[in-house]
Structure 1
Amino acid sequence: MTTQMKAVVVPEVKAGWEVRERPVPEPGPGEVLVRVHACGICGTDLWMAHGVLSFREFPLFMGHEGVGEVVALGAGVTERRIGDRVGMPMMQKRCGACDFCREEHPNSFVTAGNCASPTLTGVNVDGALAEYMVADVGGTVLLPDGISYEDAAPTVCAGYTTWAGIRRADAKPGARVAVVGVGGIGHFAIQFAKAVGYHVIAVTRSPGKHALARELGADDVVADGAALKEIGGADVLLHTSSSHAAAIDAMTGLRPWGKLVLMGLAEDEMILPALPLTTHSHQIIGSAHNGMEYLAEALDIVARGQVKPMVELFPLERVNDAYQRVASGDVRFKAVVTF
C-alpha cells in the first residue's frame, strides 16, 4: 500500500482549499483504515473554514460526509472486514469516562455536545476529505449494496439529519408536513417525507424553486406562513433553512398541537411567539443526528431509490471550486468530492 496520499487542507480562516501530500494514517486498536471514494461538503464545514465554529487550530483537515472501502483493520477489530463499504458520520466516538458517558448514551449529536471529549470526524480529528482516513470502528456504518458512493456521501450527514428529524417528529400517517427551505437538507426532507406517505408542503420565498419542489414530491408550494395557513396549515414544520426567522414565520401556519423540528443551522436569534406557542400547545424540537439506526434507515431508503440526492460532483483537484460554489450558494444542492 502507498505511504503517501492527497488530502484537502484549509490553511487559514477563509483561505482557498488546497490539495497537499500527507502520510497515509495507520489504524490503531479498534480502528479501521478507509480508502475514501467520496465526501460531501456540509454547511458546518464552511462555518469551520470561516472561523464561525472553532474546534482546533488551523490548518484544518475536514470532511464528515465521507464514504469508502475498508482496506486495513486495527488490532481487535471484528465488526468490519476488508472490503466493507462504509460511511463515516461526524459523531465517531465518545470518551466513555465522563459523567455523561457513564449514562451509556448512544452515538448522536446529543452525545457530541455533552461528552467531555468526543471524537468528531473532520471536526477535532482529521476527516474524509482525503484519499484515506482512520475511524473508530463504532463510528462507521455499513452501506447497503444498492447505493452509490456519490449518493451515500451526502446522506451520511444531510440525509441523516433530515430522516432523524422526521422520525423524531413522529407524525401520524397522512400528516401534513411542511419543509421550510429547499436546499441541501430541504431537498432531502421533501423526498423523505413523501416517501413515507405524508402530504408535503414546501415553504420557500424563491420562485425559481417552486417547480423543483414539486418535482421532488411536494404536493403544495407556498411562500410563507400566511399562505401555509390559508391552504390548511401543517402538523409538522421541518426547519431546514439558514434562517430562524423563516421558521418563526412558518409557525403562522402550524396547526394546534403541531411540532416545529429545528435541524437547519442559522446565525440569527430565534424569538418565539409565546402566546400562540402556549394557546396552540406547539412543541419545539431540536434535532440532528439522533442515533446510528436512523442513518442506516436513511441509507436504505436512498438505496431503494425512494430518495435521490441532488449532487454536483467535483474531482479532488477541483475541491476549491466546490468550496467556492458551496460558499456562494450556487450548488444545487450538495457538492460531493470524488477520489
Structure 2
Amino acid sequence: MATQMQAVVVPKVNAPWELQNVDRPEAGPNQVLVRVHACAICGTDVWMANGTLSFREFPLVLGHEGVGEVVAVGAGVTQRAVGDRVGLPMVQKRCGRCDFCREQHPNSFVTAANCAAPILTGVNVDGAHAEYIVADVDGTVLLPDGVSYELAAPTLCAGFTVWAGLRRAEVKPSGRVAVVGIGGLGHLAIQYATAAGYHVTAVTHSPDKEDLARQLGADKVVADGAGLKAAGGADLIMYTGSNHAALASAMDGLRPWGKVVMMGIATDELTLPALPLVSNSHQIIGSAHNGYEYLVEALDFVARGAVKPMIELFPKDRVAEAYDRVANGDVRFKAVVTY
C-alpha cells in the first residue's frame, strides 16, 4: 500500500481548500484504517475554516460526515473487519477518565462539550476529507447494505441530528410536527417526520421552496407562526435555522405543552417572550447526535428509501468549488465530495 495519499488541507483561516499529497496514516491499537469513498461538507466545517469556531491550529483536515471501507485493522480490533463499510461520525472517542466520562454517557454532542479530552473526527484530529483516515474502532458505525456511500455521508451528521432530535422530543403518535427552515437539516427533518408517520407542516419564508416542501412530504406549508396556528398548530417545532430570528414567530403556532427542538448551530442570542412560554408550559430542548443508536436508525431510513438526502456530488479535485458553494449557500442541500 502506498505511503502517501491525497487529503484536503485548509492551510489557514479563510484560505481556499487545497488537495495536497500527505503521509497516509497507519492503524494503531484499537483503530481501523478506512479508505474514504465520500465525505459531505457540514456548516460546522465552514465555521472552522473561516475561524468562527476554533479547536486547534491550522492547517486543518476537516470532515465528520465520512464513509468508506475498512482496509486495515490495528491490534486488538475485533468489532470490525477488512471490507466492512463504515461511517465516521464526529464523536470518535471520549477520554474515559474525567468526571463526565465516569458517568458512562453515550457518545453525543454532550460528550464533545463536556468530556475533558474527547477525540472528535475532523475537529481536533484529522477528518475524512482525505483518501484515508484512521479512527478508533468505537468511533465507527456499520453501514446498512442498502445505502450508497454518497447518500450515507450526509446522514452521518445532518440526518443523525434531525432524527435524534425527533426521537428525543418523544412526540405522541398522533402529534403534529412543524419544521422551520428548509435547508441541509430541514429538508431531511421533513422526510424523517413524514416517514415516522407525523402530520408535518413546513415553515418557510421562501416561496421557491413551497413546492419542494410538499414534494418532500409536508402536509402543509406556511410562512410563519400565525400561518402555523391557522393550520392547526404543532406539538413539536424542529428548528433547523442557522439564526434564531424566526423562532419567536414560529412559536405563535406551538400548541400548549408543545416542545421546540433546537438543532441548527447559531451564534446569535435567543430571546423569547416569557409569558407565553410559561403560560403554555412550553419546552425548549437543545439536541444533536444523541447516541449512535439513533444514527443506526437514521441510516436505516435512507437504506429503505424512506428518506433521501438531496445532494450535489463533487470529485475531490473540485473540493475548493464545493466548499465555496456551501459557504455561499449555493448548494441544495448537501455537497458530497468523492475520494
TM-score of the aligned structures, taking structure 1 as reference length: 0.99
Displacement of 1:106: 1.2
Instruction: Determine the C-alpha separation between the residues in 2 that align with 1:144 and 1:231.
Output: 38
Q: Which residue is 1:304 aligned to?
A: 304
Of 100-109 and 183-192, more deviation after overlay is shown by 100-109
Q: Show the counterpart of 1:287.
A: 287
**Between the two proteins, what is the percent identity of the paired residues?**
73
Amino acid at match of 2:128: A
Deviations 1:222-281 (A, max 9, x none): 111111111111000000111212122200110000000000111221012110000000
The match for 2:244 is 244
Question: Which ranges of structure 1 fall in alignment gaps of 5 or more residues?
Answer: none
How do residues 139-154 of structure 1 correspond to structure 2 at under 5 angstroms? Answer: 139-154=139-154
Residues 117-132 of structure 1: pairs in structure 2 closer than 5 A: 117-132=117-132
The range that moved more, 65-74 or 100-109, is 100-109
Pairing 1:260–2:260 present: yes
Residue type of the alignment partner of 1:299:
L
Q: Does 1:271 pair with 2:274?
A: no
Aligned amino acid, residue 166 of structure 1: L
The CA distance in 1 between the partners of 2:197 and 2:104, in whole Å, is 34
Give the CA deviation at 1:309. Answer: 0.5
C-alpha distance in 2 between matches for 1:12 and 1:23 = 19
Shift of 1:174: 2.5
3-state SS in 2 of match to 1:128: coil
Aligned counterpart, 2:112: 112
1:313-332 correspondence to structure 2 within 5 Å: 313-332=313-332
- The one-letter code sitting in structure 1 at the alignment partner of 2:67 is V
Which residue matches 1:134?
134
Partner residue of 1:86? Answer: 86
Instruction: Tell me what 2:60 maps to.
Output: 60
Say which SS state the counterpart of residue 123 (structure 1) adopts. coil
Q: Describe how 1:191-202 pairs up with structure 2 within 5 A.
A: 191-202=191-202
Show structure 1 runs of 4+ deviating over 4 A.
none
Letter of the structure 1 residue corresponding to residue 336 of structure 2: V
Hey, what's the Cα distance between the residues in 2 that align with 1:223 and 1:11? 41
Distance in 2 between residues matched to 1:313 and 1:95, nearest whole Å:
35
TM-score normalised according to structure 2 size: 0.99
Amino acid in the other structure paired with 1:161? T
Instruction: Quote the Cα distance in structure 1 between the aligned partners of 2:321 and 2:70.
Output: 28
Q: Distance in 2 between matches of 1:335 and 1:247?
A: 26
CA–CA separation in structure 2 for the residues paired with 1:108 and 1:266 = 18
SS of the counterpart of 2:232? Answer: coil
- State the Cα distance separating 1:334 from its structure 2 match: 0.1
Query: Could you give the per-residue CA deviations for residues 154-204 of structure 1, whole angstroms, max 9, x where no partner exists?
Result: 000000001000000110112110000000000000000000110000001
1:207-218 alignment, distance < 5 Å: 207-218=207-218
What residue number does 1:49 align with? Answer: 49
1:78 shift after superposition: 0.2
DSSP 3-state at the match of 2:99:
coil
Matched, 1:69 2:72: no
Q: What SS class does the counterpart of residue 221 from structure 2 fall into? A: strand
Alignment-derived partner of residue 24 in structure 1 = 24
TM-aligned CA deviation for residue 88 of structure 1: 0.3
Letter in 2 for 1:5: M
Give the Cα separation in 2 of the matches to 1:6 and 1:150. 19
Whole-Å Cα distance in 2 between the matches of residues 106 and 309 of structure 1?
Answer: 26
How far apart are the structure 1 equivalents of 2:87 and 2:231?
40
Letter in 2 for 1:308: K
Aligned to 1:189: 189
- Give secondary structure in 2 for the equivalent of 1:70: strand
| Gaps in structure 2 of 5+ consecutive residues | none
Paired position in structure 1 for 2:232 = 232
Corresponding pairs, count: 339
Amino acid at match of 1:9: V
Partner Cα distance (2:230, 2:69) in 1: 50
C-alpha separation in 2, matches of 1:270 and 1:246: 10
In structure 2, the residue matched to 1:15 is: 15
Distance 1:116 1:27 in 2: 24
In the alignment, what sits opposite 1:4? 4
In structure 2, what is the Cα distance between the partners aligned to 1:172 and 1:104? 29
- The CA deviation at 1:79 is 0.2
SS of 1:16 mapped into structure 2: coil
